[in-house]
Amino acid sequence: MIRAISADICVIGAGSAGLSVAAGAAQMGARTVLIEAARMGGDCLNTGCVPSKALLAAAKAAANIRHAGRFGVQAGEPQVDFAAVNRHVHDVIAQIAPHDSVERFTGLGCTVIQARARFVDERTVETGEQRIRARRFVIATGSRAAVPPIPGLADLPFFTNENIFENKALPEHLIVIGGGPIGCEMAQAHRRLGAKVSVLDLATILPKDDPDLVAIVRQALRADGITIEEGAKILKLERRDGGVAVVVADGEGERDIAGSHLLVAAGRRPNVEDLGLEAAGVQYSPKGIAVDQRLRTSNRRIFAAGDVAGSYQFTHLAGYHAGIVLRNALFRLPAKVDIGALPWVTYTDPELAHVGLTEAQAHAEGMDDVRVLTSPFAENDRARTERATEGLIKVVVSKRGQVLGAGIVGAHAGELILPWVLAVGQRMKIGALAGVIAPYPTLSEISKRAAGSYYTPTLFSPRTRRLVRMLRWLG
């Protein structure tokens, strides 16, 4: 017997977007059904943000021990128990998991179904034993690691973010294909924990960020001992001596890069298959589900949120999408997505954070009169005390002083970017940040110093000097 369920809102996918929608809807009194075919918490909790940052934290602890001599503290080379590091990663996941659990969401009033969902018509989903008919649906099925069509890859064992956190033995030599955020973060983590690491990318690493800031990350990765090969044309992959060999083009010939393990970090692919989207009248492509600014699909009763909506694939964007969906689906308010102030962070050491327009993007949009304000970490007293002087902030400002974008590379860049997110989102003038009182000594003074530099040409100009002399004559 198939059990019929009626709901106000049915959410497919219990990742960041789906959980946020379901929690909000249930707590506001909507009859809510949440369907998840795999693990509650989705990619972020189980194979993404949480385990990767836990691994990076362990790697940073090892690096701090290795470099403690800078502070007069003699420690030497750390002894890394990689299996214990893996236990640390899974302990962190376990600590957060109750917040995303079936029990919590049932307690909030959701009907939680752990099964695969498929649309059978424009208003109905089946899970095998249940048939859910709802006023509104939200597709939040996320994304998965993309596997590029490299000859030989299908015949080799390899890691993606979906299984690398199950590995309990330190790789001897990890080859990373892909120099995006995941590739760079995992490369640095494994190198600092003792593995030899090579990163190969067809273009350049971290291509979405400002090249001046990326250059500092690149230098730091190489200083850690990571081999980075940009512009690498991979011809094929082969098994070699119990490991793997990557055959790359080298001028007119070929050369091999041999390693023990392979990590493929070549982007993400939205999960749109086997959902019955055709039966629901939902348009989609391999890039994701087509949505309007209100996150409505071609079937206006169905919304899509998070990675599957085909936009930037960030947990914080998924949470933002959830708010847009709730306002539209429950209250019929015409809330629209605006990602003009969307920040992102790559959690290498140093971190790289960005919001708004880069200098190149501003010029590409015809803004030839923008000003670029900078301040190096090397001139910040707190950075000096912590021996963390590798870094830079770049702020893009319009001719009239409006903050258009900011990028920061350096210690705690992900924390330092927040006031710039506010400035870009609220279209603030640079004077608002130049005038704040920043506590001393803090890294946040870097932002104030960059903002204040906007006024330097005026404050110390010949005109100002003449004005000061004139006022002096007046007594």
Distances (CA, A) of 403 to 82, 113, 285: 45, 46, 36
In angstroms, what CA-CA distances link 221 with 57, 106, 187, 191? Answer: 16, 45, 8, 9
* Spatial separation of the C-alpha atoms in residues 332 and 309, rounded to whole Å: 20
Residue with tokens 């924990």: 193
Rg (CA), the chain: 25
Binding-site sequence positions for FAD? 53, 141-143, 307
State both tokens at 330: 């429950």
Structure tokens at 419: 């006031």
Identify the bridge partners of residue 258 per DSSP, sorted by sequence position.
Answer: 245
Q: Which residue has the tokens 């999960």?
A: 271
E strands of 157-287, at which residues? 173-177, 196-201, 227-230, 234-240, 243-250, 253-259, 261-264, 268-270, 284-285
Give the residue among 322, 247, 469 at the shortest CA–CA distance from 18.
322
How far is residue 36's CA from residue 41's CA, in Å, rounded to a whole number? 9
Annotated binding site: 53, 141-143, 178-185, 267, 307
How far apart are alpha carbons 471 and 461 in whole angstroms?
16
What is the largest distance, in Å, between two alpha-carbon atoms of the chain? 97
Dist. CA 96–CA 149, nearest whole Å: 35
Q: Where are the beta strands (DSSP E) in 286-411?
A: 288-289, 302-304, 344-346, 351-356, 371-376, 392-397, 403-410
My answer on whether omega of the bond before 441 falls inside 30° of 0, hence cis, is yes
State the Cα–Cα distance between residues 49 and 319, nearest whole angstrom. Answer: 14
Binding residue positions for NAD(+): 178-185, 267
- The angle formed by the CA atoms of residues 342, 344 and 349, to the nearest 5 degrees, is 160
